Structure formats: structure tokens, C-alpha cells
Chain A
């Protein structure tokens, strides 16, 4: 299976703290994308990082990519209760038309 893994599986933090979650994948990639999913809802696209990029920022999000280790991390700074959700990383197949998702990190931000 090319499915990746997120670590940790679950994370609980206080509002205002930073949250870091990691993703490992198995094959070479063109890009890696992070998504957020609120309970039982669809996936919201957060950020895309290309294989030739090492770090990318978007608002309170910071994503890093280490292709030599086949891993990525998502940092959410100054967390808010509204950040409570599951977070998934996804990599695309070589043709770009199939995505492989990790197992997800469930983040709980306590007000």
C-alpha cells in the first residue's frame, strides 16, 4: 500500500499553543498536500508543497518537506478551538490523478 501515516494519531492541546503533526509516505512524489476534515464533513484543502520546496507558509500554517526522509510536517501556530479537526496528508500518484491519504491526526484544541 502506498498509504502514508500521520503521527501522532491524536493530539490534544490548549488554545494558543502550537500543534505539530507529521506525515510519512512511501514513494517519490511530485507534491504533498495537507487537508483538514471537520467531523463527518468533506476535506478542506490547506496547503500544497512541491517536491522541490522545503518549507511553505500560509497564515498560521507552516509546512515542511524532507524528500530524503519521505516525511512532511504541519505546524499550526497559536491554535484556536476552531482548529479542532482531523488533518490528513496526501500524495499524488505519478500520473497525478490518484491521491494516497495518510491515516490522519485528530487534533483537539481545548478552549
Chain B
């Protein structure tokens, strides 16, 4: 069974540009969440999508947005990039069974803003 796939693995962008990251969840998983990981802030929740709808959103500015497609694949977009957006962006795929949600993560996309 394939795991969570994130593309690309590495990105270098310039301040002011925008970027789109992609995540393909585990087959059968309808929930996709995005997290930002930085040395200073640790793992921070960005947002979660389920059946193409955003169900939950973390405390990030509107420059961070996402969407989910009918096949559960998700994209995350960051506009007007800032140096502080440099981070490892992790996508998690999850499914709830019997009231328990187990999340599985991809390898992440390392974004560097210069």
C-alpha cells in the first residue's frame, strides 16, 4: 500500500513569489492535513481538508491556502512568500475508524525562501 506522497521534495523560491505544494494521500483516506515545521515553532497545524472541504484551519495568514480534489489529493499554496516561510511542510493523511483517527505523514517538502 503506497504511503503519503508529497511533491516536490525541495523548493527554492524568491521572496514575493508564490508556491504550490502537492500531497497524495493513502488510498482510501479522505482527510488531508498540512503542517509547517520550523526549528523555532515546531510543528504547527495549517489546515485540514475532508471531501474537498476545509474542515479546520490553524492560525496562519491568508497567504496560506489549500484545496482538495475529488480524488482526495490536496494542494497547498503560499503567496507573496516571506523569508519566514522557509520550513518543512508536511502533509498527513488520515482515516477515522471507531472514533480513532490515525495520521500518516509524507516525507515533506523543504521550502527555502531567499
Contacts and interface: CB of A to CB of B under 8 A. Distances in A.
Interface residues of B, number: 29
B48 A98 contact: yes
A95 B56 contact: yes
Interface in B47-71: 48, 50, 55-56, 58
B106 A42 contact: yes
Given A42-B106, A97-B94, A97-B101, 13 more contacts: A31-B100, A35-B105, A44-B105, A45-B102, A48-B102, A95-B55, A96-B96, A97-B33, A97-B56, A98-B45, A98-B48, A101-B35, A101-B43
Interface of A: 3, 30-31, 33, 35, 40-45, 48, 50, 88, 90, 92-93, 95-104
Nearest 10 pairs between A and B by C-beta? Answer: A96-B101, A101-B43, A43-B105, A42-B107, A42-B105, A97-B48, A42-B108, A98-B56, A42-B106, A98-B45
